């Protein structure tokens, strides 16, 4: 059973992301953005976004979507970081999952941008990833985890 | 200068621990080469032709004596006893061992320094005028804003994996000494018609393969909006910049592809959701930052008698007179001058400085310049606050340390990247070309007769030596495995910035001093009274240079 990090724990996945996933039986399948649109934009669904997808397409459905996964085909492709912040700025409160080629060393930034679930392709790295979730104790910038920049809190 | 509080210190300490962890996982095989690459780059570590190279951040070029001594010690303990000043005011050491880098970073952290984001596809060190705070033509000190930008960009969670590197420069004076037109974002402090200070924002400038002069996207931005506006620009770039081709990934290509008006609209749309949010700067934060850059306790010298003493010393020693005239500039406080310490002595690779010279500079800045010095993008050092009556004593000490070349701003004050001697990306060596030119034009009378002249050399298209914006630019090119050099003329990095035009077919290394000499002889023959090289070139154009150069040497 595939696993992921959610709420600071390693849990097994109730979603599957690939039609050919043979052990996806019994798990809910997440849509791609185009599948979701073709299927009439169902509420209470899960959608996986790819880099370059426009997350404003989800805007109206955000209060009801249960999962938005943002796919990182390569860990060097930073578009997913901006997408997460935009989704949170648009008011999405549900599970926001980073999936794909993500490094333990990126966990901290992903978390700050609004991700609350993390699923590296290489599941042997889940432990290392969890350990590095809180990489730094303070940050200069405002972000999703800390909406005030340090200069408004410094003292 | 800015002093860390416990937040800043904790962050650099945690960064050292993080890099120690990354290095040991890499050495243990838990991180692949490809995965470790951006992690080490974002800590300034390259793997070069011969050894790793570590680029240490010098935020907007400012260093204290304590930091300079630490750098001297690091080059002794971990390297070969010298450092190199880069064209972005940073400091590079060329021979550290990978295993030692976490320790070097810990040494740096002990003096409030780091190597964060000195490389990689992220927001790099913000650069500015080396005469910030002392220049007679300054409108407002840019350094508080540089520090504000430094903190905002440091470990910014959204912008650590951009399509490509991203460079910001800030200028606060009438003359632009920060080359803001050649940066991804250029910021120019100026007042609006109501007299309020704000920023003119340029975007999409840059050198490299496709040199572009930045375009204005905001004529006047209120200061408090600085960070939210930068964040909007970066977000547009992060989302839409090209990632399929690294040569087309800089923001300049995106601005060109979208058109500057469409780009501005995209930024404004993005900004609408960020403007007036928590990232908006507060008056108290701007005031707090300004307190770190207040003037030092200047004495009230007897300017008249000081000037008379300097004049007498200059009359007695022509060498001192030369240096005084070329390597010192006016200061906003009467009785003081700002001194450029040239790292361009003939035979010294441009921008290289030895450990003992660093120690000497640390002592001299404590003795004569309130314990601070600056690195410059021309790869020199500036002591910004020297009393006029101390100039002669300072000069003597510099001379003893081989640091008194009186050539600041002249032909032999060459900007030069490390090139093929060190850099694995190079097409050709650059240091030997600089040395050959310095040797040929060693005669000071000739040098001064040529007037202010910027000659910049890059070993490849990446243009670290800023060849496009040199009055004379030299670019190393590879022709069937052989090193050749292409010459361009008429570049400028000032407010009237321009990209140099290519003279014609390239030359072999041994031809270069002759080629430069011919170019200069055309200038001498054609110039009107008081006309600089750049002015003359702009008036007469390329043709006379072309004719003479290619009549004399055989193009390859
Ligand atoms: S211009 Fe080219 S050769 Fe010179 S340092 Fe940059 S990458 Fe290396």
Please name the residue of chain A whose CA is at the shortest distance from the CA of residue B237. Answer: A79
Spatial CA neighbour of B419 closest among B441, B435, B408 = B435
Question: Would you say B199 and B189 are in contact if contact means Cβ atoms under 8 Å apart?
Answer: yes
Q: Do A148 and B273 touch (CB under 8 A)?
A: no
Please name the residue of chain A whose CA is at the shortest distance from the CA of residue B160. Answer: A78
CB contacts of B277 in chain A (<8 Å) are 142
3-state secondary structure of B12: helix
Please indicate whether residue B462, judged by its CB atom, sits closer than 6 Å to ligand 1.
yes
Region B382-409: mean pLDDT is: 96
Between CA B479 and CA B318 the distance in angstroms is 46
Mutate to test the pocket of ligand 1, among B55, B426, B478 (most ligand atoms within 8 A of CB): B426
Between CA B162 and CA B117 the distance in angstroms is 12
**Do B6-109 and B142-292 come out as alike in CATH topology?**
no
Q: Which residue from A79, A89, A151 is facing B239, i.e. has the nearest CB?
A: A79
Please indicate whether residue B497, judged by its CB atom, sits closer than 6 Å to ligand 1.
no
A28 touches chain B (CB under 8 A): no
Say if pTM beats, i.e. exceeds, 0.90: yes
CB contacts of A138 in chain B (<8 Å) are 7, 10-11
B397 touches chain A (CB under 8 A): no
CATH no. of B142-292: 3.30.413.10
Residue B24's pLDDT is: 94
Is residue B318 over pLDDT 90?
yes
CATH of the domain at A81: 3.20.20.70
Place of tokens 């390297």: B79
Between CA A25 and CA A28 the distance in angstroms is 8
Please indicate whether residue B417, judged by its CB atom, sits closer than 6 Å to ligand 1.
yes
Burial class (CB in 10 A: 0-12, 13-18, 19+), B424: exposed
Q: Do B18 and A105 touch (CB under 8 A)?
A: yes
Please indicate whether residue B351, judged by its CB atom, sits closer than 6 Å to ligand 1.
no
Please name the residue of chain A whose CA is at the shortest distance from the CA of residue B280. Answer: A149
Please indicate whether residue B419, judged by its CB atom, sits closer than 6 Å to ligand 1.
yes
Q: Do A105 and B154 touch (CB under 8 A)?
A: no
B281 touches chain A (CB under 8 A): yes
Please indicate whether residue B460, judged by its CB atom, sits closer than 6 Å to ligand 1.
yes
Residue B208's pLDDT is: 83
Residue B494's pLDDT is: 83
Query: Which letter does DSSP use for residue A29 in this model?
Result: E
Residue B56's pLDDT is: 97
**Which of B6, B148, B158 to mutate to test binding with chain A, by most A CBs within 10 Å of its CB?**
B158
Mean pLDDT, chain B, integer: 94
| Domain B6-109 classification at class level | alpha beta
Please indicate whether residue B266, judged by its CB atom, sits closer than 6 Å to ligand 1.
no
Between CA B160 and CA A136 the distance in angstroms is 15
Q: How many CB pairs under 8 A join A and B?
A: 99
Burial class (CB in 10 A: 0-12, 13-18, 19+), B294: exposed
Number of domains in chain A: 1
Q: Do B238 and A81 touch (CB under 8 A)?
A: yes
Q: Which domain holds residue A129?
A: 3-154
Share of chain B above pLDDT 90, in %: 90
3-state secondary structure of B190: strand
pLDDT digits (tens, 9 = 90+) for B98-147: 999 999 999 999 999 999 999 999 999 999 999 999 999 999 999 999 99
Task: Give the side-chain half-sphere CA count within 13 A for B88.
Answer: 25
Between CA B58 and CA B375 the distance in angstroms is 8
Orientation angle between helical segments B283-291 and B143-153, nearest 10 degrees? 110
Region B190-218: mean pLDDT is: 94
A59 touches chain B (CB under 8 A): no
Please name the residue of chain A whose CA is at the shortest distance from the CA of residue B15. Answer: A136
pLDDT digits (tens, 9 = 90+) for A69-103: 999 999 999 999 999 999 999 999 999 999 999 99
B66, B105, B371, B408 from B362: Cα distances, Å: 7, 20, 7, 20
Q: Which residue from A77, A141, A154 is facing B157, i.e. has the nearest CB?
A: A141
Q: Do B238 and A76 touch (CB under 8 A)?
A: no
Per-residue H/E/C for B378-423 = CCCEEEEEEEHHHHHHHHHHHHHCCCCCCCCCCCCCCEECCHHHCC
Chain A closest-CA separation from residue B9 CA (Å): 11
Question: Which residue(s) pair with B352 in the sheet?
Answer: B84
Please indicate whether residue B375, judged by its CB atom, sits closer than 6 Å to ligand 1.
no
Q: Do B157 and A140 touch (CB under 8 A)?
A: no
- B62-64: strand order across its sheet: B62-64, B372-375, B381-387, B336-341, B328-330
A15 touches chain B (CB under 8 A): no
Burial class (CB in 10 A: 0-12, 13-18, 19+), B329: middle
B339 touches chain A (CB under 8 A): no
CB contacts of B15 in chain A (<8 Å) are 136
Please indicate whether residue B457, judged by its CB atom, sits closer than 6 Å to ligand 1.
no
Is residue A25 over pLDDT 90?
no
B239 touches chain A (CB under 8 A): yes
Residue B302's pLDDT is: 78
- Residue B50: pLDDT band with limits 50, 70, 90: low
Q: Do B273 and A139 touch (CB under 8 A)?
A: no
Sign of CA dihedral B407, B83, B129, B424: positive
A105, B81, B115, B266, B544 from B21: Cα distances, Å: 10, 28, 16, 40, 60
B22 touches chain A (CB under 8 A): yes
Is residue B497 over pLDDT 90?
no
Give me the helices (H) in chain A, please. Answer: 33-38, 79-89, 107-112, 126-131
Spatial CA neighbour of B457 closest among B492, B418, B493 = B418
Please indicate whether residue B401, judged by its CB atom, sits closer than 6 Å to ligand 1.
no
Residue B48's pLDDT is: 66
A72, A78, B240, B264, B365 from A52: Cα distances, Å: 11, 11, 8, 20, 52
Mean pLDDT, chain A, integer: 94
Read off φ and ψ for residue B472, nearest 5 degrees.
-120, 125
Q: Which has the minimum average pLDDT: B44-48, B123-127, B497-501?
A: B44-48
ipTM of the predicted structure? Answer: 0.96
What is the Cα B536 distance to its own chain's centre? 26
- Residue B434: pLDDT band with limits 50, 70, 90: very high
B29 touches chain A (CB under 8 A): no
The secondary structure of A49-90 as a DSSP string is E-TT--GGGGGGGTTT--EEEEEESSTT-THHHHHHHHHHHT
- CATH pick for B415-552 out of 3.40.50.300, 3.30.413.10, 3.20.20.10, 3.30.230.10: 3.30.413.10
Number of the ligand 1 atom closest to the C-alpha atom of B418: 5
Residue B18 CA to ligand 1 centre (angstroms): 29
Give me the residue spans of the domains in chain B: 6-109, 142-292, 303-368+385-400, 415-552
Chain A closest-CA separation from residue B418 CA (Å): 27
Is residue B433 over pLDDT 90?
yes
CB contacts of A89 in chain B (<8 Å) are 273
**Which of B121, B150, B157 to mutate to test binding with chain A, by most A CBs within 10 Å of its CB?**
B157
Region B399-413: mean pLDDT is: 96
Is residue B303 over pLDDT 80?
no
Q: Which residue from B152, B163, B243 is facing A140, i.e. has the nearest CB?
A: B152
Q: Do A79 and B10 touch (CB under 8 A)?
A: no
CB contacts of B19 in chain A (<8 Å) are none
Residue A20's pLDDT is: 67
Please indicate whether residue B465, judged by its CB atom, sits closer than 6 Å to ligand 1.
yes
The two three-digit tokens of residue B393, written as one number: 């004593």
3-state secondary structure of B250: coil
B439 touches chain A (CB under 8 A): no
Spatial CA neighbour of A72 closest among A115, A29, A101 = A101
pLDDT digits (tens, 9 = 90+) for A101-139: 999 999 999 999 999 999 999 999 999 999 999 889 999
Mutate to test the pocket of ligand 1, among B351, B425, B467, B483 (most ligand atoms within 8 A of CB): B425
């Amino acid at each position: 059973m595939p696993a992921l990090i959610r709420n600071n724990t390693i849990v097994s996945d109730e979603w599957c992301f690939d039609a050919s996933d043979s052990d996806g039986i019994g798990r809910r399948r997440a849509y791609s953005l185009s599948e979701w649109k073709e299927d009439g934009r169902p509420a209470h669904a899960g959608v996986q976004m790819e880099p370059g997808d426009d997350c404003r397409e989800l805007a109206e459905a955000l209060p009801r979507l249960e999962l938005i996964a943002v796919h990182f085909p390569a860990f060097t492709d930073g578009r997913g970081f901006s997408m997460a912040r935009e989704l949170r700025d648009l008011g999405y409160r549900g599970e926001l999952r980073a999936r794909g080629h993500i490094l333990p060393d990126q966990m901290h930034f992903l978390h700050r941008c609004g991700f609350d679930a993390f699923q590296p392709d290489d599941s042997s790295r889940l432990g290392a990833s969890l350990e590095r979730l809180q990489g730094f104790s303070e940050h200069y910038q405002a972000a999703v985890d800390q909406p005030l920049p340090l200069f408004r809190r410094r003292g | 200068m800015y002093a860390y509080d416990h937040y800043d210190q904790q962050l650099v300490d945690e960064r050292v621990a993080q890099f120690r962890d990354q290095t040991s996982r890499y050495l243990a095989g838990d991180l692949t080469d490809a995965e470790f690459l951006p992690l080490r780059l974002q800590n300034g570590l390259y793997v070069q032709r011969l050894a790793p190279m570590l680029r240490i951040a010098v935020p907007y070029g400012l260093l204290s004596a304590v930091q300079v001594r630490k750098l001297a010690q690091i080059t002794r303990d971990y390297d070969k006893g010298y450092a190199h000043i880069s064209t972005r005011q940073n400091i590079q050491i060329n021979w550290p061992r990978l295993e030692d880098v976490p320790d070097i970073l810990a040494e740096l952290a002990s003096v409030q320094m780091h190597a964060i984001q000195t490389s990689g596809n992220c927001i790099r060190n913000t650069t500015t005028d080396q005469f910030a705070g002392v220049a007679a033509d300054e409108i407002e000190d840019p350094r508080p804003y540089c520090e504000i930008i430094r903190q905002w960009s440091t470990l910014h969670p959204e912008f650590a994996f951009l399509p490509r590197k991203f460079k910001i420069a800030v200028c606060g004076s009438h003359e632009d000494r920060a080359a803001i037109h050649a940066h991804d974002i250029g910021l120019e402090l100026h007042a609006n018609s109501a007299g309020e200070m704000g920023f003119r924002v340029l975007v999409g400038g840059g050198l490299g393969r496709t040199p572009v002069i930045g375009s204005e996207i905001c004529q006047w931005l209120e200061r408090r909006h600085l960070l939210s506006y930068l964040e909007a620009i970066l977000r547009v770039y992060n989302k839409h910049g090209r990632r399929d081709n690294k040569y087309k990934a800089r923001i300049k290509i995106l601005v060109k592809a979208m058109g500057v008006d469409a780009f501005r609209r995209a930024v404004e749309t993005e900004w609408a959701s960020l403007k007036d949010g928590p990232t908006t700067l507060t008056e108290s934060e701007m005031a707090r930052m300004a307190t770190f850059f207040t003037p030092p306790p200047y004495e009230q010298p007897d300017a008249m008698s000081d000037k008379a003493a300097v004049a007498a010393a200059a009359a007695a020693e022509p060498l001192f007179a030369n240096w005084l005239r070329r390597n010192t500039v006016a200061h906003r406080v009467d009785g003081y001058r700002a001194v450029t310490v040239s790292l361009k002595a003939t035979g010294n690779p441009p921008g290289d400085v030895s450990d003992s010279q660093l120690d000497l500079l640390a002592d001299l800045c404590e003795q004569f310049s309130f314990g601070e010095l600056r690195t410059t993008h021309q790869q020199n050092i500036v002591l910004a606050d020297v009393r006029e009556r101390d100039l002669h004593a300072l000069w003597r000490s510099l001379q003893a340390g081989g640091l008194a070349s009186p050539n600041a701003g002249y032909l032999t004050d060459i900007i030069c990247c490390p090139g093929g001697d060190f850099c694995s990306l190079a097409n050709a060596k650059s240091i030997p070309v600089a040395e050959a030119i310095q040797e040929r034009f060693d005669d000071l009378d000739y040098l001064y007769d040529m007037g202010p002249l910027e000659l910049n050399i890059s070993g490849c298209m990446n243009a670290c030596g800023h060849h496009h914006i040199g009055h004379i630019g030299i670019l190393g090119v590879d022709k069937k495995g052989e090193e050749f050099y292409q010459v361009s003329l008429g570049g400028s990095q000032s407010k009237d910035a321009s990209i140099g035009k290519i003279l014609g077919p390239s030359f072999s290394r041994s031809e270069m001093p002759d080629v430069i000499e011919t170019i200069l002889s055309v200038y001498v023959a054609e110039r009107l009274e008081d006309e600089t090289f750049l002015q003359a070139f702009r008036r007469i154009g390329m043709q006379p240079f072309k004719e003479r150069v290619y009549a004399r040497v055989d193009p390859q």
